[in-house]
Amino acid sequence: MPSTVITIDFWQTLFDDSGGPQRNLERQSALGQAIADAGYFRDIEEVDTAFRSIWEYFDHHWLNNQRTPTSREMVEEICRRLDLALPDDAVAQVTHTFANGVLSNPPALLPGVRDALAFLANRAPLALISDTAFSPGQVLRSLMEQQGIASYFSNFIFSDESGVAKPHPDAFRRAVEPLGGDLGHSVHIGDIERTDIRGAKGVGMKAILYRGNHIPHKYADDGTESAADAVIRHWEEMLEVWERMK
């Protein structure tokens, strides 16, 4: 009998985005200090503009090239936009602060996640598929361990480690196939239609659209009907949906 694997997204599916303002302040402060230590002057507005505009760079590679820039790459791009040549050790220190922000100011698990993971892990192996940004896979794993949910997962696919981002087919194949799963009998749960749902359906998986948290406008749906096999607005709905889809 073909084997089922359940793959799950990270941001806005397992974790919300709380702590974001604090993380951004910490990151900008670290960058500002590095700039001053290197003998440069850039006013707060310049730094803020470069920091905010980095997401245009990120989105270009993520949405068009199906890869996510690494933490260091994004820090280096911010420096380029500010016309800075920081020492390598300063770039490394700033990158460390950017990467570890989710540990110093962590996001929260969404309601019902723990019980849902316990339920699902008793029915099929679980794999995480996460498109990363400032926070690399190594740090997100640590966050999951701190929250006591990492042990539910048998495989972790982070885009900064795999080199591909959803909806690239390899993101799903690398999550499912090493666990002996069959894509046609496996299920992905995520919150973004373009990357999670269409990516999963593109490799023959079933897909569940999670609608329990706000999605930033630029990643919102395009107005078309979802291709998902089911939609949930709270993790408590997972038991009923699983039984229906099974």
* 150 and 46 within one domain: no
Last residue of a domain, one of 57, 76, 104: 104
* 185 and 146 within one domain: yes
Last residue of a domain, one of 104, 135, 155: 104
Last residue of a domain, one of 42, 69, 104: 104
Are the C-beta atoms of residues 238 and 120 closer than 8 Å to each other? yes
What is the rounded CA–CA span in Å between residue 187 and residue 4?
7
State mean pLDDT over 54-58. 94
pLDDT for residue 245: 85
168 within some domain:
yes
Would you place residue 218 in the very low, low, confident or very high pLDDT band (cuts 50, 70, 90)?
Answer: low
1 within some domain:
no
76 within some domain:
yes
The separation between CA 216 and the C-alpha centre of its own chain, rounded to angstroms, equals 13
192 within some domain:
yes
* 199 and 229 within one domain: yes
* 35 and 12 within one domain: no
CATH number at residue 113: 3.40.50.1000
Q: What is the pLDDT of residues 192-216, one digit of tens each?
A: 999 999 999 999 999 999 998 765 5
147 within some domain:
yes
233 within some domain:
yes
* 83 and 117 within one domain: no
Mean pLDDT for the chain overall: 93
Q: 27: closest CA among 132, 99, 126?
A: 99
At a CB cut-off of 8 Å and minimum separation 6, what does 208 contact?
Answer: 187, 188, 189, 190, 228, 229, 230, 231, 232, 241, 245
What is the rounded CA–CA span in Å between residue 197 and residue 68?
18
pLDDT for residue 37: 95
* 169 and 53 within one domain: no
What is the rounded CA–CA span in Å between residue 185 and residue 217?
32
Range of the domain at 228: 6-17+107-245
pLDDT for residue 246: 74
Residue recorded with tokens 């539910």: 152
Position 1 pLDDT exceeds 80: no
At a CB cut-off of 8 Å and minimum separation 6, what does 68 contact?
Answer: 58, 61, 62, 131, 132, 133, 159, 160, 165
Among 130-144, 198-212, 223-237, whose mean pLDDT is lowest?
Answer: 223-237
Domain count, the chain: 2
Query: Taking the CB of residue 170, how many other CB atoms lie within 10 A of it?
Result: 16
